[in-house]
Amino acid sequence: MTAPDRQRVGALIAPLFEPLIAPLDVAEKGKVPGVLVGVLHQGQRYCYAFGQVPLQQGGSAAPEDTVVMIASNTKVFTATLLAIAVLQSRVELDTPVRELLPPGVDIHPYLMDQPVRLRHLATHSAGFPKGLCPPRDDVFGHYSFDATTRFLREFEPQYPPGQQWCYSNQGFALLGALMSHVHHDSPPSEPGWGSSYRDWQQVARRLLLEPLGMQSTQVELSPPVRARLAQSYGLRQPGQRYESIRVGEIDPQSAAIGAGALSSTVPDMLAFLARQIDHGPDVLGRAIALTQSPQEPLGLCMGLGWQVGDGCLAKDGLKLGYASYMIVDPSCRVAVFAFANAEGSDLNGAARAALGALRGCAVQWPRPTPQPKRKPQCPPDGMSAR
């Protein structure tokens, strides 16, 4: 990497991200205090910072060392675990979910001959609600398996699986637990949701994070990790200071880890995106290629975990004031990962525009067709997670 190359890329993307920034002590609707941007271009990796990105415990860190919550970007990692399991003949994309549930836990099919399959969970087409049931403020790191059991027991699907696209954290939470189970090294010895379903963190580390060299990507916020964690903010009143948001602990055995609990750094996310371009011939490389393969039309073109459009793969994440977005064009060998320390800005649009500027062709991102008129809802009765 030469300084002129870094400067040219920076000059290209700066006009796209600088308009998103407002001063930390003068909040502005639609803007954020700070943005970090990682770029993969012509085989080189660059990291840029705009505005202010202080740490949760005070002070600051270099943009490359700052830890950020990537929220629902985690779903692509869970989908990659599914692809690995398929290539290892542990499951098939069309394996019914019911076959992988523990004894005593069942799921309602729309019709007996139309079960929810793993493919449906990975493409948001299972017909599950958007949020976890019951709703929580910090959903991914504190969701019980008892709540999962109650949801599966009480939820009645409104339409057949595989027919419509409707974004679902509930579906990916279940997929994460099932992928922990199918990749577990030893047969389960406990009844119910035993340890094999609660090991997503270790499975992801063994099969994805370590092979990809993502040493600063994790679930638990240990003291060394938290010392580098970016502070996130909320906007209470325009013109006043942005309000700090506290990030609590994350239970590594939460039933929703695989839906959005990872934290990472810009360099680690660029390592992940680089492998989306150069898959490699090993099982992981072939699994990555499988996640990029478009599935059935569902109102929004999906790979496994990825949204697909105009030659690009993309995914975003929102959690406790953190916003992130990754987009990659494998054929043009260009990728962008963007992070903001508050929600509400058009971070996704700026990242797409940046990728378009870098590849020399604007990204024409498809709009999803309308979602079901009757969106899936959590079962009634005021279920409460334990």
Residue 2: per-residue pLDDT = 63
Average pLDDT over residues 47-60: 96
SS3 label, residue 158: coil
Residue 110: per-residue pLDDT = 83
Residue 189: per-residue pLDDT = 63
121 phi/psi in degrees, rounded to 5: -60, -40
Residue 3: per-residue pLDDT = 72
Residue 112: per-residue pLDDT = 74
Q: Position of tokens 């549930």?
A: 101
Using the predicted structure, report yes or no on whether residue 383 has a pLDDT greater than 70.
no
Q: Which of 232 and 237 is assigned the larger pLDDT?
A: 232
Average pLDDT over residues 306-312: 95
Q: Please name which of 115, 73, 69, 385 lies closest in space to residue 255, comparing C-alpha atoms.
A: 385
Using the predicted structure, report yes or no on whether residue 275 has a pLDDT greater than 50.
yes
Rounded distance between C-alpha atoms, residue 218 and residue 254, angstroms: 14
Residue 113: per-residue pLDDT = 80
DSSP state, 372?
P
Using the predicted structure, report yes or no on whether residue 299 has a pLDDT greater than 70.
no
pLDDT digits (tens, 9 = 90+) for 95-145: 999 999 999 999 988 877 899 999 999 999 999 999 999 887 667 889 999
Average pLDDT over residues 353-361: 97
Using the predicted structure, report yes or no on whether residue 381 has a pLDDT greater than 70.
no
pLDDT band of residue 163 (cuts 50, 70, 90) is confident
192: containing domain: 1-386
DSSP state, 194?
-
Average pLDDT over residues 297-312: 87
Please give the sequence-ordered ranges of beta strands (E in DSSP) within the chain, or none if there are none. 34-41, 44-51, 68-69, 232-234, 243-245, 263-264, 307-309, 312-319, 322-329, 334-340
Residue 297: per-residue pLDDT = 61
Using the predicted structure, report yes or no on whether residue 291 has a pLDDT greater than 50.
yes
Rounded distance between C-alpha atoms, residue 340 and residue 359, angstroms: 23
Using the predicted structure, report yes or no on whether residue 293 has a pLDDT greater than 70.
yes
Residues 222, 198 contacting (CB under 8 angstroms): no
Residue 384: per-residue pLDDT = 38
Spell out the long-range contacts of 283-288 with Cβ–Cβ below 8 A and sequence spacing 24 or more: 283/84, 283/87, 283/88, 284/80, 284/84, 284/207, 284/208, 284/211, 284/212, 286/83, 286/87, 287/80, 287/83, 287/84, 287/86, 287/87, 288/80, 288/83
pLDDT band of residue 370 (cuts 50, 70, 90) is low
CATH of the domain at 182: 3.40.710.10
Using the predicted structure, report yes or no on whether residue 20 has a pLDDT greater than 80.
yes
Using the predicted structure, report yes or no on whether residue 264 has a pLDDT greater than 90.
yes
Q: Position of tokens 């009480």?
A: 154
Using the predicted structure, report yes or no on whether residue 350 has a pLDDT greater than 70.
yes
Using the predicted structure, report yes or no on whether residue 48 has a pLDDT greater than 60.
yes
pLDDT band of residue 374 (cuts 50, 70, 90) is confident
Using the predicted structure, report yes or no on whether residue 188 has a pLDDT greater than 80.
no
The domain tally of the chain equals: 1
Q: Please name which of 197, 168, 143, 319 lies closest in space to residue 246, comparing C-alpha atoms.
A: 319
Residue 366: per-residue pLDDT = 83
182 phi/psi in degrees, rounded to 5: -70, -25
